[in-house]
Amino acid sequence: MRRLAVLSLFAATAALSLAFAMPSRAAEDAVVIPAPAMDAAPASGIQTAVVAGGCFWGVQGVFQHTAGVVNAVSGYAGGTKATADYQTVSSGRTGHAESVEIKYDPKKISYGKILQIYFSVVHDPTQLNRQGPDVGSQYRSAIFTTSDEQKKVAEAYIAQLNAARVFNKPIVTKVGALEAFYPAEAYHQDYLTLHPNQPYIAYNDLPKVENLKKLFADNYIEKPTLVNASKATN
């Protein structure tokens, strides 16, 4: 079921009936998890992380409220440039996943902390080719690494979390090298901030930001770092 269909469903039914239609692990059910035992070595200069965890609106929104993140852009990874547009990616046949490119200052936040937030509050890493109401490989859980070090850290962390059994099912997150990232259309950028009252955002995504504030208070910032604002200052 595509997200646009879900939006129509939200508009047509009462909030109570929607709650019964949702999967058992809703967005507000964040999981407290340990920090990664292995992290990336200290580095200088802005670094890049790319993750996928369902609809990119919520993923972007969480990291825009994360201290140390200088830009978080919604987009597509895993497929070709020719198919990197919303309508085509929504077919689920392009190889792309809705993803977010995170530019961060490693002096303020580490790669491991980004992954901890990703696994804890951003999404449910045990759902295969879906996330909440969105179904299809474009909503898969994936980490697109930009270096061998990132690959080692991500794989070690998944193994650590599985061994600790912090989730009730095995993690299905795929780790693979980033070949290319393609920014999504302008209307997808800063979507959570621009449309906080939209039912899909209110039910599925705003609770993730609240969980970030609650579980990662030291990493939370009230004012989001928006794509449009970042462009204006560059």
Q: Looking at the annotation, which residues are catalytic?
A: 55
Residue with the two structure tokens 């929504």: 90
Q: Do 174 and 59 meet the contact criterion of CB atoms below 8 Å apart?
A: no
Tell me the DSSP string of 169-196: S----EEEE---EEEPPGGGTTHHHH-T
Residues 6+ apart with CB under 8 A from 8: none
Burial of 174 from C-beta contacts in 10 A (0-12 / 13-18 / 19+): middle
Residue with the two structure tokens 């992290």: 39
Q: Is 132 left (phi over 0), alpha (psi -120 to 50) or beta?
A: left
